Amino acid sequence: SSEVLEAIENVIQDVLKSLAQKKAPVLTLANRSDWRNIEFKDSVGLQMTPHYTTKQIRSDCPRSAPKFALMLKMLSMIYKMVQSNTYATKRDIYYSDTLLFGSQSVVDNIISDISCMLKIPRRSLHILSTTKGFVAGNLSYTEEDGTKVNCTCGATVLTVPSNVQGIKNLISHAEFMLIVEKDATFQRLLDDDFCNKLSPCIMITGRGVPDLNTRLLVRKLWDTFQIPIFTLMDADPHGVEIMCIYKYGSVSMSFEAHHLTVPSIKWLGLLPSDLQRLNIRKDVLIPFTKQDQKKLASIQKRPYIACQPTWKKELEIMAASRLKAEIQVLTSLSSDYLSRVYLPNKLQFGGWL
């Protein structure tokens, strides 16, 4: 916490120095969303280059002055929370002054910018995200406040903890971890008692694009147990992109890649080649939209696809067919095909990439 306080004090000192010299204060931070500032490293994923381009938030320019003011306001809120050892969620911060912030996305963006500017992980700023991810399976842990949590696979699911950093005493006999893209598939596997039937496992879903806490939990479980991690996604560009966020990270959070990515993650399914192999009927597949084509083309150009020849091949199959499929497409073979046949066979015979 002293590191956070010192970093904020340095920013404020620079602002005061500029004012003393009768200059307009400026905040400087890395250009987070610029691909030119990103390098791909096999062992980490997407990370920020040491020599990155920066952008300035100026206090004397009508376009950036409001953002400059909001960043100072947020720094003062963070400073107080760190000093008093209290926490707030991003929603709490937005609702503390909705008129000032205008929208939740403004708050989210400013917090990420401050984290990047101070070079301090967001959770160290005492700001928690509202969690949307779920976890179930062979896992128990103690939360920061001493609450004991047992995720043993029943019909109930548990929300990913909002302070992943603070959980301890993690215990699991799981042999693997399964990241499921969608809530509906996750619930279906729970109903089929998948966690216990095959071999003990941990299941996690970020319910679409994963939030920070879900990604932190996946990373923490990997660091703790070092068990194989598989992903179960829709066979479409959106599913592939979500899997890449877990495995390689995202451009906008590349400055935090070391805490968030798990490059050893494997693609278990649904593979485009599975659709051909299982003779899935064409009428249950969905034709590509223009947006799908654009997204797939952009994924194919990313630096990490070049070092994954088997993934590259799957994306080429998808591009050639111009068809996509949701995991639910397997119910066209039989209602419990996913948990009874597809996953057991894949896990037993190494059907992952």
Alpha carbons 137 and 200: distance in angstroms, whole number: 7
Active-site residue identified among 52, 79, 95, 141: 95
Q: Is the peptide bond before 270 cis (omega within 30 degrees of 0)?
A: yes
Query: Which of 314, 334, 335 lies closest to 235 in space, CA to CA?
Result: 314
Per the annotation, the verdict on 94 as an active-site residue is no
Alpha carbons 58 and 72: distance in angstroms, whole number: 12
Token pair listed for 238: 């959106």
Alpha helices in 40-142 (DSSP H): 65-84, 90-96, 98-101, 104-118
CA distances from 53 to 15, 33, 38, 56, 117 (A): 21, 11, 10, 10, 12
The H or E element that residue 306 is part of is: helix 303-306
- For the annotated catalytic residues, the residue numbers are 95
